Structure 1
Amino acid sequence: MQPNLKSTLLDEVQQLFHRHGVRALSEDQIITSLSISPATFYEMFQDKNDLVDQAARHDLERQKREHAAMFAKAGSPVERILLLLQHGIKELRNIPGTLYSEIQQDHPQTWAMMLDHLATYSYPQIHNLLNDGILQKQFRSDINIELVTKIILEQVNLLLNADIFPPSRYNLSEVFRSIYLYYIRGICTDEGFKLVAAHFSKA
């Protein structure tokens, strides 16, 4: 099997999930949409649950690479956090509003992996950006970094809670913007706020 075949298929699967959601697609429908044989499918994936898990892991690795590319272009912690926010909004615009709730309900192992990603990747990332921002006098020195980091991450759970923000009623990207952009402005110093304003003037 070609080493890039699985990667290509996982990219294609992610696009299928973004168009149709996870729940609506059966294994047979996925196999047909990927134009592969059942034998090829089961050589790489145990079942649909395993496919969902591998696709989610593959997508998180993609996001890590994109974060690294973004950070290479941005020097200040404030701008890096804003780029993360914009990246998150872009990601949300490309997926069905019910995707996360379907994974949470139907694929708890994958959901647990995604929460672990938040704890082991997103938490240190945000914590370090906040700390750097304080050292560079872009974020207020009186903020509790541990608490603010936890609040930012808990706001992710709030945003993705379909009971609080049902996708049929709320646009997730707008919820994302309303939760985060005002919060980040609130923890900025005057210098940090100027960077925020300059960033949006270039957008």
Structure 2
Amino acid sequence: MREQIIHKSTELFLNLGFKSVTMDDIAKELGISKKTIYVHFPNKTKLVEVTTMHLFEIISHGIDCICALDKNPIAELYDIKRFVMEHLKDEKSSPQYQLKKYYPKIFATLKQKQFEVMHECVHENLSRGIKQGLYRDTINTEFITRIYFNSMLAIKDTDLFPLKIFSMNMLLDNYLEYHLRGICKDEGIKILNQFITKNQS
């Protein structure tokens, strides 16, 4: 039952937001009493924490698997973007921004974990791109890695990028292009243009 609660809660939080989903909503969706949820989770905050970390582990594992394939670095970034979008349901409710607003302690823990995973992944991606002659060898990889992480957080800020104007998919596509055009050499730009054309078709 605990796993069912986590699964259903994750789905509801992603689609409707952490703020609007109540324990009653989760119980109703599962066809159980609220008391049953409280057997496994003492309060909503604990449930939010567990579901957040559960989703983080799934996404981190998926990213690790994509990175292990040792693909072309540009293709790798697009594969990661596609995988994350599939698991975050296009972030209709901007869960990360809501988490920051209503559950700041959980957000801070998640942010640190995300940074550790992304730092390793992006740094490795940049190093391989330089070795393969796709990225400029003059870039400061540590600087780019940190800018990349911070920019990924920034585009999830719905005050800056309202979901009525920008879908998360559109934001990620635009940011990936922006990021890659800043670091690619001519050969990398050719590959990037192929992905952009493919996405538009």
1:84 aligns with 2:90: no
1:122 aligns with 2:118: yes
Q: Please state whether the residue corresponding to 1:161 is helix, strand or coil.
A: coil
1:196 aligns with 2:166: no
**Sequence identity percentage:** 23
Q: Which residue of 1 aligns with 2:145?
A: 149
Contact 1:134 1:141 in 2 (8 A): yes
Q: Which residue of 2 aligns with 1:158?
A: 154
Counterpart CA distance in 2 for 1:175 and 1:186 is 17
1:56 aligns with 2:52: yes
Consecutive unaligned residues in structure 2, runs of 5 or more: none
Q: Which residue of 2 aligns with 1:29?
A: 25
Are residues 84 and 47 of structure 1, via their aligned partners in 2, closer, same or farther at CA, if it must alter by over 3 Å? same
Q: Please state whether the residue corresponding to 1:160 is helix, strand or coil.
A: coil
Consecutive unaligned residues in structure 1, runs of 5 or more: none
Q: CA deviation at 1:87?
A: 3.0
Counterpart CA distance in 1 for 2:160 and 2:195 is 31
What are the Cα deviations for residues 141-161 of structure 1, in whole angstroms up to 9, with x where unaligned?
A: 011101111111111122022
Counterpart residue identity of residue 78, structure 1: I
Q: CA deviation at 1:198?
A: 4.6
Contact 1:93 1:173 in 2 (8 A): no
What are the Cα deviations for residues 104-159 of structure 1, in whole angstroms up to 9, with x where unaligned?
A: 11111221122112221111111111112112222110111011111111111220
TM normalised by structure 2 equals: 0.85
Q: Aligned Cα RMSD in Å?
A: 2.3
Q: Count the aligned residue pairs.
A: 199
What are the Cα deviations for residues 19-75 of structure 1, in whole angstroms up to 9, with x where unaligned?
A: 322211211222222233444322321211111111011111111232234345552
1:10 aligns with 2:22: no
1:184 is aligned, of 180, 183, 188, to 180
1:75 aligns with 2:71: yes
1:168 aligns with 2:164: yes
Q: Please state whether the residue corresponding to 1:12 is helix, strand or coil.
A: helix
Counterpart CA distance in 2 for 1:139 and 1:21 is 38
Counterpart CA distance in 1 for 2:136 and 2:88 is 29
Q: CA deviation at 1:92?
A: 5.2
Contact 1:92 1:172 in 2 (8 A): no
